Amino acid sequence: MRRMSGFNMIALTLGFAFLYIPMVILVIYSFNESKLVTVWAGFSTKWYGSLAQNQQFLDAAWVTLRVAFFSSTIATVLGTMAAYALIRSGRFLGRTLFSGMIYAPLVMPDVITGLALLLLFISIGLDRGILTLVLAHTTFAMCYVSVVVSSRLMTFDLSLEEAARDLGCTAAEAFRLVTLPIIAPAVISGWLLAFTLSLDDLVIASFTSGPSSTTLPIKIFSSVRLGVSPEINALSTIMIGIVAVGVLAASLVSKRSLVKRQADEAAAVRAEAA
Amino acid sequence: MIRFENVTKRFGSFVAIDNLSLDIYEREFFALLGPSGCGKTTMMRMLAGFENPSEGNIELDGADIVDVPPNKRAVNMMFQSYALFPHLSVHDNIAFGLKREGMAKDKISARVAEMLRLTRLEKFASRKPHQISGGQRQRVALARSLAKAPKLLLLDEPLGALDKKLREETQFELMDIQEKTGTTFVIVTHDQEEAMTVASRVAVMDAGVLKQVATPSQIYENPNSRYVADFIGDVTILEGRARKEGNRYELAWADGQPPIVAQSALEIGPGDTCYYAIRPEKVEIHHDKPEDDNVLQGKVIDIGYLGNISTYHVQLANGQTIRAQNFNTERSTQQAFTWDDTVWVNWTDRCGILLAN
Ligand SMILES: Nc1ncnc2c1ncn2[C@@H]1O[C@H](COP(=O)(O)OP(=O)(O)OP(=O)(O)O)[C@@H](O)[C@H]1O
Ligand SMILES: [Mg+2]
């Protein structure tokens, strides 16, 4: 490996320090013995224990997980279908408009998305609860999924689908038997991304959740207003862990299929030479 | 067996296939030959069902197939890029079409085993496509498209990615397989040697139209136009005016040069412009003036040494170059002719061909 120049080293250190010092502090204080957040009084895991006793937090966690699971699953199905239609259907009237529109929610401020959804739910008389949360999260996560999947489909060799058709598949069978298995890594990382986005979301959730469906981020946010407790630190540490695992898994899934492929190809070349 | 009837294919305003009619017969090895962009792949895609003609019909065994979707046609295609399914093993790739057919399990494995044997891939059955070499991939693609025993097999530049030696081997394998299975093959290529080697009939295409459809030897020895003569093999083409002289034509083609005499069944009016094509291997080269129907004097300006033969570029007094080929039958590093030698080239009246256009 090439040695890094001094400047690069400093830039990298500063960048990472900026990103991670706040989180590291939070993690450290979650193991603090003292009830006072800013005073270090020795190592302890007791806050994790008391967290496990806190029914309110456990309920919120359960809501969050359910919402994340359902919304990311629905978003993955819809997002994949949207991506497929946009990439495959060739030029149809207004295609550019549609592909632009699918990206728009990505840059839309969450507050506006949340407000719009809230107005929608009120106007159709839908009571706010888990259902509205799932719908709201599906809406914005779907865009992320379709971006991930469509970038994979962009490089997908169309002749593979034609070959499947040629060998007796209907268009739907060709998608199920050939396209889907091949783009599966992208679909899975889309799902993981959608899942972590839903776990994280505070703004949209606060517009669309009801009293019976408080999510963890909302719970944390509202408890912090009464003062930061070490329990919150412990909870946040767990969430950081889950999100980190999710994001890492998403990138590993796509990375691993690539690496495996390269290793296989290298092996084939070596076998050839021998 | 296949009939194209006045088929036209347009992409927007661009005409890719222009009012083309063609018959391909049962058990034939038919080659489509032409420069890049002339519409070969488009023809194949219409046969496979991925494109519909803008006008005209395509018949397979007497039935119009234009509205039949690709999965319902007894036609299989071997793709230019092979299009092997990367997530399936070699075995499953070959079995793919059979499973779609709903064939019984034991029959499938028997058929796949047969295909693996035919293409000598037994050892690689459990590998994935990216774990085998290019030549092996190409054979998997062939096995996959043959497995369903289609009436018609389409091969779009199947050997494009192979090196010369492997390509020649595979050409003979293809011919072998075609004979064994009795399938009708249509092959696309822009390698004229390949077309001549494998095919029983060749169609030469240019910009969406068929220039000539004939056996390889007819195409080579009796091209019907300058385009075909020039496209297939090496040729010198001269332009002039022909005059009938008994059963032969005399072609006045340059001032200060004797006319070229040629036998031809062609009807050419006196004074009409016509063309004369002569292939280098038909032209002899001598130091002393020989006796022949056509004898011209010139100077050697270039020599192409190919080992078994040498091609001499002989420039005549009027600047025209005629190419002559000589077999190097004697083993010596000393060439019989060298640069700037004054030489005679000669050929009989039956060696060249007179062309009207
Ligand atoms: N889908 C399409 N849309 C527009 N034009 C097309 C399309 N497919 C092919 N063409 C045009 O039709 C012409 C014929 O294309 P085709 O692919 O049949 O050529 P080809 O003879 O197979 O050439 P090559 O030897 O390079 O493969 C080309 O000029 C190409 O640009
Ligand atoms: Mg082509």
- Report whether B116 contacts B140 (CB < 8 A): no
The verdict on a CB contact (< 8 Å) between A167 and B96 is: yes
Euclidean distance between CA atoms A172 and A269, whole angstroms: 35
- A166, A269, A270: best to mutate for the B interface, most B CBs within 10 A: A166
Q: Is residue A4 part of a domain?
A: no
Residue owning the nearest CA to atom 12 of ligand 1:
B16
**Cα B279 from Cα B221, distance rounded (Å):** 9
Residue A72 identity (one-letter amino acid):
S
CA distance B229 to chain A (A): 35
Query: Which residue's CA lies nearest to atom 3 of ligand 1?
Result: B11
Q: Which pLDDT score is estimated for B287?
A: 86
Exposed e or buried b per residue across B85-107, where buried means at least 16 C-beta atoms within 10 angstroms of its C-beta: bbbbbbbbbbbbbbebeebeeee
Instruction: Say if the Cβ atoms of B100 and A167 lie within 8 Å.
Output: yes
**What is the per-residue pLDDT across B74-121, written as a single tens digit (0 to 9) for each?**
899 998 889 999 999 999 999 999 999 888 999 999 999 988 988 888
Domain ranges in chain B with CATH number 2.40.50.140: 234-355
Give the angle subtended at the CA of B139 by the CAs of B201 and B93, to the nearest 5°: 120
Residue by residue, DSSP assigns B121-158 as -GGGTTS-GGGS-HHHHHHHHHHHHHHT--SEEEEEST
Our answer on whether the CB atom of B14 is closer than 6 Å to any ligand 1 atom is yes
Q: Does residue B42's CB lie within 6 angstroms of at least one atom of ligand 1?
A: yes
Helix A216-224 vs helix A55-88: crossing angle, to nearest 10: 130
Is residue A8, in this structure, part of any structural domain at all?
Answer: no
What is the average pLDDT across A146-150? Answer: 90
Sign of CA dihedral B115, B120, B125, B127: negative
**pLDDT of A268 strictly over 80:** no
A163 to B50: CB separation less than 8 angstroms, yes or no: no
Q: Give the residue from A248, A208, A194, A209 showing the smallest Cα distance to A73.
A: A194
pTM: 0.77
Tokens of B95: 């079995």
Q: How far is the CA of A272 from the centre of ligand 2 (A)?
A: 29
Residue A163: pLDDT band with limits 50, 70, 90: very high
Q: In what order do the strands lie in the sheet with B209-214?
A: B75-78, B152-156, B184-189, B29-33, B201-206, B209-214
Is A239 part of any domain?
A: yes
CATH class of B2-229: alpha beta
Kindly state the tokens that stand for A259.
């690496």
- Residue B157 sits at φ, ψ, to 5 deg, of 40, 60
Residues B198-255: pLDDT tens digits?
Answer: 899 999 999 999 999 999 999 998 899 999 998 888 888 888 888 888 788 888 888 8
Domain that holds residue A71: 22-33+40-267
Q: Is residue A189 part of a domain?
A: yes
Query: Is the Cα torsion angle B40, B41, B42, B44 positive or negative in sign?
Result: positive
Give the model's pLDDT for residue A269: 63
Contact B148 A168 (CB under 8 A): yes
The per-residue pLDDT for A69 is 95
For residue B152, the chain A residues in CB contact (below 8 A) are: none
Q: Which numbered ligand comes closest to the C-alpha of B207? A: 1
CATH code where residue A132 lies: 1.10.3720.10
Residue A53 lies in a domain: yes
How open is the CA angle A197-A202-A208, to the nearest 5 degrees? 100
Q: CB B83 to CB A163 under 8 A?
A: yes
CATH architecture of B234-355: Beta Barrel (2.40)
**B353 to chain A, closest Cα gap in Å:** 43
ipTM over cut 0.90: no
Please report whether residue A185 resides in a domain.
Answer: yes
Which residues are CB-neighbours of A153 under 8 A, at least 6 positions away? A83, A84, A87, A88, A183, A186
Lowest mean pLDDT among A115-119, A170-174, A234-238, A256-260: A256-260
Give the contacts of A232 (CB within 8 A, at least 6 positions apart): A220, A223, A224
B40 lines ligand 1 (CB under 6 A): yes
**Nearest by Cα to B81 from B134, B133, B6:** B134
Nearest to B133 among A159, A163, A272 (CB): A272
- Which atom of ligand 1 lies at the shortest distance from residue B38's CA? 21
Considering only CB atoms, A182 lies closest to which of B69, B87, B100, namely B87
- Give the residue from B107, B167, B165 showing the smallest Cα distance to B139: B167
**Angstrom distance (rounded) from CA B18 to CA B212:** 14
Chain A: give the shortest CA distance to residue B83, in Å.
5
What confidence category does residue A178 fall into, taking pLDDT thresholds of 50, 70 and 90?
very high
Residue B155 CA: which ligand is closest? 2
pLDDT, position B161: 67
> Which of A61, A18, A114, A15 is CA-nearest to residue A236?
A61
Q: What pLDDT, on the 0 to 100 scale, is given for residue A273?
A: 55
Ligand 1 center to B46 CA (angstroms): 12
* Cβ neighbour number for residue A113 with a 10 Å cutoff: 19
Q: Residue B36: CB within 6 Å of ligand 1?
A: yes
For a ligand 1 pocket test, name from B14, B156, B186 the mutation site with the most ligand atoms within 8 angstroms of its C-beta. Answer: B14
Residue A1 pLDDT greater than 60, yes or no? no
Both tokens of residue B166?
Answer: 């492997």
Please report the pLDDT score of residue B77 as a whole number: 92
**For atom 9 of ligand 1, which residue has the closest CA?**
B42
Contact between B252 and B296 under an 8 Å Cβ cutoff? The reply is: no
- By Cβ distance, the residue of B77, B83, B133 closest to A268 is B133
Cβ of residue B327 lying under 6 Å from some atom of ligand 1 = no
Return d(Cα B305, Cα B150) in angstroms, integer.
Answer: 45
Q: Residues A199-211: what's their mean pLDDT?
A: 89
A167 and B71 within 8 Å at the Cβ level: the answer is: yes
* Range(s) of chain B covered by CATH 3.40.50.300: 2-229
Q: Which residues of chain B have pLDDT under 50?
A: none
pLDDT reported for residue A272: 57
Q: Does A267 sit within 8 Å of B131, measured CB to CB? A: yes
Contact B151, B60 (CB under 8 A): yes
Q: Which residues pair with B5 in a beta bridge?
A: B57
Supply the DSSP symbol for B340.
T
Between A271 and B97, the more confident residue is: B97
Q: How many domains does chain A have?
A: 1
Q: What pLDDT sits at residue B97? A: 93
Cβ distance A208 to A63 under 8 Å? no
Per-residue pLDDT band at A2 (split at 50, 70, 90): low
State whether residue A20 is helix, strand or coil. Answer: helix
